[in-house]
Structure 1
Amino acid sequence: MAAISGGKTYHHGDLRNALICAAVDLATDGGPERVVLREAARRVGVSPTAAYRHFDGRGELLRTVKILAQCRLADSMERAAAREPGADDPALAAERRLVALCRGYVGFAVDQPGLYRAAFCVPRPAEADEPAGGRVSPEPEIRAFTLLREALEGLAKVGGPRPDSRPAAGAAAWSAVHGLSLLLLDGPLRRLPAQRRDDVVESTLAMVVSGTRGL
């Protein structure tokens, strides 16, 4: 059992979760570059040695943060879709869901840039604080893409894109919202005032929907 500041103690399993929470906070504040195991240990109030009992090194901790960031991105999309009003017309309802998911995607990137960057970071397979020859776990499934693909499949059932075009449509929709998100965060679109930024987002989402109709 490891003691932390303020006299509080963590049992073995609790310390791992505390380190993950600290790492998520670091990513939120400054992106994946800020996620360092020693700094997470310092924030929790334990020694680096105690932290290394739970993570082999920075790479493993960052991969854990990446997966959590991906989950939060997908959660943001699903919350946006849940807020979208329904429609009697199935085609309109399907389009609204697709747009809402895309809006939730971009909204997460704008509101949580550090976690968004962490969701798509590429942890190095062998960092200086990791044992040599360590194996890298496979890339986790991107739930955000799954949600977009399923929305397009729902649109296809009510007269949207042809079934054989859905894989390409999903990649195209994902590319559109991901590229827009990066332009808003790191590109020239980051200078746009809020209202102009919202206009660009809605225009892009309308283009995504109209593009699926033409497939």
Structure 2
Amino acid sequence: MQEPRSRYHHGDLRASLIATGLELTRTGGPDALRLREVARWVGVSPNAAYRHFANHQALIAAVAAEVQDRMAQGMRKQAATDHVESPAARSVARLRGVGLGYVGFALEEPGWFRLAFFAPGDVERPDGRMPPPLTLLHEALDDLAAAGVIDSKRRKGAEWSCWSTVHGLAELAIHGPLRHLPRDEARAIAERAVDDIIAGVLRP
């Protein structure tokens, strides 16, 4: 970002604070988000910011929720299955798209990814909802069961196996030994991991 500037005049200050929080965390992750710093970038006093967010944690929660929503939007696009006719094949394709969309977002937006799931403290969404990326995973697995691809026993708890696989791979690609790989190689590894975990979920 450039030097702080007065970007707020009249309107929705809360939205301006969140938008600035998104800019700061896109490259800096959760460590870059401080309420007074955000107020300085927006061009208002800390007291004005505190009227909308009681403390630092409240701002983190609001910005992290926005990131999770954006992440879910990208995952939905990756999981689009309009071109697949068979309900069974469509449900498998949807689960694969959800997994690849998760890792893809982490690769493209590592700062936001850290904020969405590694924000300091016990941060919960202001609306109290389950994180939308996890909701999409639940829905994709429910589709598998509804299409008869897996039975109820295989469905139960499968979200944790799937989520830990893509989440762990995202961590390896951002902070671990895969971080120096070209993007296309990291994506190829992600495809292998997602296909392997789906094969495990589908195993009779």
The CA distance in 1 between the partners of 2:103 and 2:195, in whole Å, is 14
My pick for the range that moved more, 117-126 or 166-175, is: 117-126
Tell me by how many angstroms 1:124 deviates: 2.9
Q: Is the aligned partner of 1:93 residue 2:90?
A: yes
**Larger Rg computed on CA atoms:** 1
Say if 1:5 and 1:146 are closer, same or farther in 2 by CA, change over 3 A: closer
Of 182, 185, 189 in structure 1, the residue corresponding to residue 178 of structure 2 is 189
User: What runs of 5+ residues in structure 2 fail to find an aligned partner?
Assistant: none
2:99 aligned residue: 102
My pick for the range that moved more, 149-158 or 97-106, is: 149-158
1:112 aligned residue: 109
1:129 aligned residue: none
User: What runs of 5+ residues in structure 1 fail to find an aligned partner?
Assistant: 127-135
1:133 aligned residue: none
Tell me by how many angstroms 1:76 deviates: 1.2
Q: Is the aligned partner of 1:73 residue 2:71?
A: yes
My pick for the range that moved more, 63-72 or 88-97, is: 88-97
1:91-140 Cα deviation digits (max 9, x unpaired): 222111111111111111111111111111344369xxxxxxxxx97964
The CA distance in 2 between the partners of 1:92 and 1:53, in whole Å, is 50
1:164 aligned residue: 153
1:156-212 Cα deviation digits (max 9, x unpaired): 233322212313211111111111111111110111122321220110111121011
The CA distance in 2 between the partners of 1:79 and 1:105, in whole Å, is 11
Give matches, 1:28-177, under 5 Å: 28-82=26-80, 84=81, 86-124=83-121, 140-177=129-166
- The alignment partner of 2:41 has SS state of helix
2:9 aligned residue: 9
Taking only the aligned residue pairs, the percentage that are identical comes to 38
My pick for the range that moved more, 18-27 or 138-147, is: 138-147
The CA distance in 2 between the partners of 1:164 and 1:110, in whole Å, is 33
Q: Which amino acid aligns with 1:102?
A: G
TM-score under structure 1 length normalisation: 0.84
The CA distance in 1 between the partners of 2:77 and 2:122, in whole Å, is 34
Number of residues of Structure 1 aligned to a counterpart in Structure 2: 199
